[in-house]
Amino acid sequence: MKKLFNQRIFLICLLVTLCCALTGCFHMSMNITVKEDGSMHNEMIAVGAEIMKDDIEELRQDIIKNNKDVKVEPYKDGEMSGYKFVGDVSSIEEYAKNNSGEDKTTTQEYRAVKGWFYDAYSFNILNKGNKEMNNSEDKEMAKAMLSDIKFDYTLNLPYAADMHNADSATNGNKTLYWNLAETVTSSSDKSIRAEFKIWHKGHVFMTVAVIIVLLLIAFTYFNKSKNANDINEAKKYKNWDSIALLLAVILGGMSGYMMFSTPKFSDNTIIGKAPVTQAATVNNTTSATAQPAQQTPSNSAVAKAEQELHQKGVQGTVLASSVGHNGSGYLSLVKTNNGQYQIVTYDTKNGRVGITPYDRNILYFTDKKPQGTGNETVIFNITIQNDIHDNDKNAGAWEGSNHNLPVYAAYKFDGGGNLVPGMLTTGKGVKPSHYQEYLYETRNVDTINLFLTEMMALQKNIADNKVTLP
């Protein structure tokens, strides 16, 4: 089914206009099932009170218009009535192509890493909060009148998820559930993130069978070499035994590495990408005859960074950026919509964004040069947006789905003046008294090292753009 998440626009508008005097007037649930062959079965239920009958009917017509193959049937939930929408998609790739995009309420991004033993997938869906609920009066109204609104998302997988940020996980991490009601009744954003594999069982069995055959061949020739009467014949059998055994070991080792290594999701693995709206990439102007600004290399880089960060949910104006300096990502100095400054790390290699509050001492930490052959150190915090509870989950502190990591980083400079990262340690809480814990996740190390190594390139762009810092 195409763009089911876009029906959330309908939900928010409906709630704002009709639900101010109602409680629990609308329920919406989405149930996505991924099958072993990679196809998908999707269900969406939308029910509401009698007063919303016409609006739900309008929703039905809109879904049918955009999804010709969808099956629709009446559905009741207590005193509420509405419809159940059912559709099937032949592959995750097709689903990603149909559903990727950005609108006022969601940004959807899907990635895939294909392999012999499995295909690995990453779902990353940002559900933006209801900006109509952005002041205290609105929040109190939402709390009082919309507390029973239900809006949830369930992802059913054929195999256990490798990583996820679900509110709850059952069935051995194969059924993941997110409660998204807060994105309707408040201005809070919430993300859906999951990484999982679709195993190619036929390829696994085939590879195991080949290894077993090679071992049997090796064993057979080993016995023949032991029982041979002629020394030359025994030597020949021994050679075949060694070749078969070596091939079995090589194939087994390569298979083990391919099966158990962590898939690397990057921008190159995106199969469904949210387009950036024009409004996010240009400055508004009230002049009907205004001409577009000429793009110099410096402001062109800033515009590119602003586009990409906006797509990742980072709102604000990019003042300077190191984009283009490192193929694995870049740093940007961002002024948020409320006037705060942030140092934003975009790790394109791992598809992650980290935010560090602006501090001039941190921005120019490279001014501290190590003495002799020793290391210098810097302490800072970086909050990974929409992170997953992984092997570093106990480090730092969680702020909803965002992971605030305190970092104690050693560094030095090589003969060419390039910064070389050293040991990284962390601790518990936002401001730990001791930084004695190691980081276990490679991607966390990647993101933090990117922050360190790109800082001087960001400093240069700040100078080039003549940015005035607080």
DSSP string for residues in 126-153: EE---GGG-SHHHHHHHHHHSTT-EEEE
**The two three-digit tokens of residue 405, written as one number:** 């990591």
Higher pLDDT, 26 or 241: 241
Does residue 278 have a pLDDT over 60?
no
Does residue 449 have a pLDDT over 90?
yes
CA–CA distances in Å: residue 172 to residues 158, 166, 176: 10, 13, 10
CA–CA distances in Å: residue 290 to residues 111, 164, 283, 284: 39, 46, 11, 10
The continuous run of DSSP H or E covering 28 comes out as strand 26-34
Higher pLDDT, 426 or 277: 426
Per cent of the chain over pLDDT 70 is 83
Nearest to 74 by CA among 45, 95, 39, 94: 45
CA–CA gap between residue 28 and residue 5 (Å, rounded): 11
Average pLDDT over residues 381-395: 93
> For residue 183, what pLDDT is reported?
75
Query: For residue range 80-106, what is the model confidence (pLDDT) as tens digits?
Result: 889 999 999 999 998 888 877 666 667
Higher pLDDT, 50 or 5: 50
Query: Can you list the pairs that 314-321 forms with residues at least 24 positions away whose Cβ atoms lie under 8 Å?
Result: 314/344, 314/353, 314/355, 314/385, 316/342, 319/462, 319/465, 319/467, 320/458, 320/461, 320/462, 320/464, 320/465, 320/467, 321/458, 321/461
- Taking the whole predicted model, whether its pTM rises above 0.85 is answered as no
Average pLDDT over residues 366-379: 83
CA–CA distances in Å: residue 41 to residues 76, 86, 178, 272, 352: 21, 8, 18, 18, 29
For residue 289, what are the contacts with CB-CB under 8 A and spacing of at least 6?
none
Does residue 407 have a pLDDT over 60?
yes
Does residue 306 have a pLDDT over 50?
yes
Does residue 124 have a pLDDT over 90?
no
CA–CA gap between residue 182 and residue 300 (Å, rounded): 37
Query: For residue range 154-170, what is the model confidence (pLDDT) as tens digits?
Result: 999 999 998 888 889 99
Higher pLDDT, 283 or 319: 319
Burial of 90 (0-12, 13-18, 19+ CB in 10 A): exposed
- pLDDT category at 465 given cuts 50, 70, 90 is confident
Nearest to 99 by CA among 19, 5, 8: 5
Query: For residue range 226-236, what is the model confidence (pLDDT) as tens digits?
Result: 888 888 888 98
Does residue 268 have a pLDDT over 80?
yes
> For residue 313, what pLDDT is reported?
87
- pLDDT category at 279 given cuts 50, 70, 90 is very low
Q: Give residue limits of the domains in the chain.
A: 4-196, 201-260, 297-464
